[in-house]
């Protein structure tokens, strides 16, 4: 699942746990949200590295030409 999906799923689980007084479900929801946040951080870092690699590649190509 994507990061936003995990966050949304976690919010729903946490809310359901709060409504039903189910601490385990509430904790699962919080964990899902944390996983979603972590995935988002990794996705953004990956995008940044790709952008930097593309820029470096263009710079090298420009220097060679």
Domain boundary assignment for the chain: 3-64
pLDDT band at 1 (very low <50, low <70, confident <90, very high): confident
Q: Can you give the pTM of this predicted structure?
A: 0.77
pLDDT on residue 54: 93
What does the pLDDT look like over 49-60, one tens digit per residue? 999 999 999 888
**Beta strands per DSSP E along the chain:** none
pLDDT digits (tens, 9 = 90+) for 15-45: 999 999 999 999 999 999 999 999 999 999 9
Burial of residue 29, with CB atoms counted within 10 A of its CB: 0-12 exposed, 13-18 middle, 19 or more buried = buried
Taking only the tens place, the pLDDT of each residue in 4-16 is 999 999 999 999 9
pLDDT of residue 65: 75
Kindly report the number of other CB atoms within 10 A of residue 50's CB atom.
10
């Amino acid at each position: 699942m994507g990061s936003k999906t995990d966050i949304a799923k976690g919010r729903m689980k946490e809310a359901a746990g709060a409504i039903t007084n189910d601490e385990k479900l509430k904790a699962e929801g919080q964990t899902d949200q944390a996983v979603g946040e972590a995935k988002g951080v990794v996705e953004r870092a990956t995008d940044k590295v790709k952008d930097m690699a593309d820029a470096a590649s263009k710079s090298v190509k420009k220097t060679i030409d």
